[in-house]
Amino acid sequence: MILGTAGFTAALALLHMLDNGQAPALGPIAVTGASGGVGQLAIDIFNRAGYTVHAISGKAGHFDFLRSLGAAECLDRHALAFSGKPMDSVRFGGALDNVGGTMLAGLLPLVAPYGNVAICGNAGGIAFDSTVIPFIIRGVNLLGVASAGTVRPVRERVWQHLAGDWKPRHLERIATREATLDELPGVFGRMLAGDSFGRTVVRVGGD
């Protein structure tokens, strides 16, 4: 199953943001960790739902591919310079953050008034240093996305969208490889080393 937890998580983030007033008119959505499974599916899903997506990734060699999924702009995370100010010029209408850590801290001051930042990962660290200013001056909202505990009525809403108006257009291209159960240790090693890209579909049975 190509969508899997990654696709469900990306769509759940969008649902939370929509329920909290996120509209395309607020500005582009930043997607961090854009080269990973959640990130690539988020680009496709958010674009399908009518949002402009700015992909943030440390893998500049994959930028053309991310654009082909629907990213209007690709930003190299190594070249991003966050000012460290409590509030900065607005750059994004909202964000889906897969990274946490300094990336999350840097994004918050750049989000438009009443925009939402949905967080679903911690690849960059479990702690972040911020101030209350984006929240009490601009009304920015930080939304947690926990797919495992999602109640059934919400799950049904997510899957209805994924089967309809949010259905990704590029699923077969996002599934970049297949692996057997015996091959998974090598797959995990590449993930931990930061060398993975896209989605790996696990082939459980034989041919």
Q: Which of 89, 196, 151 is nearest to 187 (CA)?
A: 196
Q: Are 92 and 30 in contact (CB under 8 A)?
A: yes
Task: Specify the higher pLDDT residue, 139 or 174.
Answer: 139
Would the CA dihedral through 99, 90, 22, 166 be positive or negative?
negative
pLDDT band at 69 (very low <50, low <70, confident <90, very high): very high
- To the nearest whole number, what is the mean pLDDT of the chain? 93
Report the 10 Å Cβ neighbour count for 67. 15
**pLDDT of residue 122 exceeding 80:** yes
End-to-end CA distance of the chain: 16
Least confident piece of the model among 43-57, 65-79, 165-179: 165-179
Domains, the chain, ordered by start: 4-149+158-163 (3.40.50.720)
The pLDDT of 107-127, averaged and rounded, is 97
pLDDT band at 8 (very low <50, low <70, confident <90, very high): very high
Q: What is the pTM of this model?
A: 0.89
